[in-house]
Amino acid sequence: MPPLKRSQSSASVFTTVSMYGVRKGKYQRALGIVNVFIMVSSLVMTILGFLFMKVYHMDKIYAPSNEKDHEGRTKSNGLEDLANFGILPWLLVSIGFATFVLATLGFLFSAIESKPPLMVYSIMLGLLVLFQFYFIYVTFNANAFIDDSRQENAIEERFQRRGRELYLNDETFRSRWNIVQRNLRCCGFTRILGEEWRNLGPDDYKKLSNATGNRCFPESCCVSPDDFAGLCKKQPKHQQINTEVCKKSTTVPKLEQTEVKELNVHGCAQVLEEMYKKTLPNVFFFIEINGGLTILIEVVAIALSSAFVAQITRRSKRGHTGMEMH
């Protein structure tokens, strides 16, 4: 009879350990599945962030004001409403990268079965959730700005008011806008070809000369910088821009045929406005849905990680109690 009791006792211990191992495996598998989804979502966010930079040029249309008034306060430059577009690509890339790294660490931490790394993982994931709420808020505001029927040409109007001034006076904005003009094959901020660069005052012509390398138009506006009409051709430093050559009629049908061939015809603000209104509302809606699902999954991951930590703690206590009884 005693051997039979020992056999039953051993079987009971073996069964308990086996059940515990099954529960532990379930937490690890669940964390693995959750982290796979988080990784995929992070890749989507990162790709969209680069898409907004390289195709839609969102990171280039907003320029923070560097001017101060007499009281030392920052002066408005008229583009503050576009701040959400400038922030969004960088948020997507940074949050996407951080999420991917954290999901990778989640795989590692669940495998080593250690409480401190899992606790750090949960805390970092919680902070990431807060940042994701912020990026969804920014996306919502950008989408609302585009969908506002009261502002039919909101982006274009803002650049028509302040674009030329920023281009002439802000080197950072000028370098970014040159990329927009070159990549989108457009010129300036109005619908009429090159209107902002005609009939400038003497001071503005000097600024344009310094900014463009002594050309009538920015080189990025030109189909080829070596045009034979001289509108985009760089002049020697000792020879100032011929303002009479640069001053042309602003009515497109009256433009010389050679000029139409040498300059990109469409205004960049108009091109951007059409691009944004045509495709971005659907993309923004997808980002909001994907962001909301990712937050829910990350909350699940936090709960699973916390439960896993509690399980490791219970196992440690049981092991310590077993050693004391032995």
The residue ranges of every structural domain in the chain are 26-76+84-150+279-326
pLDDT on residue 38: 93
Q: Please state the rounded mean pLDDT for residues 166-184.
A: 89
Q: What is the CA radius of gyration of the chain?
A: 31
Best CA proximity match to 279, nearest among 143, 185, 182, 131: 143
Question: Cα–Cα–Cα angle for 64, 66, 72, nearest 5°?
Answer: 125
Average pLDDT, the chain: 78
> What is the C-alpha to C-alpha distance for residues 10 and 13, in angstroms, rounded to an integer?
5
285 HSE (CA, 13 A, CB side): 6
Predicted TM-score (pTM) of the model is 0.77
Phi, psi of 198 (to 5 degrees): -105, 150
Confidence of residue 160 (pLDDT cuts 50, 70, 90): confident
Q: Please state the rounded mean pLDDT for residues 168-173.
A: 86
**Higher pLDDT among residues 185 and 201, named by residue:** 185
pLDDT on residue 193: 64
pLDDT on residue 291: 92
> What is the C-alpha to C-alpha distance for residues 54 and 249, in angstroms, rounded to an integer?
34
Q: Please state the rounded mean pLDDT for residues 43-70.
A: 85
Contact between 124 and 301 (Cβ < 8 Å): no
DSSP 115: H
Tens-digit pLDDT profile for residues 92-143: 999 999 999 999 988 888 888 778 888 888 899 999 999 999 999 999 999 9
Contact between 77 and 63 (Cβ < 8 Å): yes
**Higher pLDDT among residues 242 and 298, named by residue:** 298
7 pLDDT above the threshold of 80: no
239 pLDDT above the threshold of 70: no
175 pLDDT above the threshold of 50: yes
Q: Please state the rounded mean pLDDT for residues 293-297.
A: 93
DSSP 124: H
Least confident range from 24-28, 65-69, 111-115, 169-173: namely 65-69
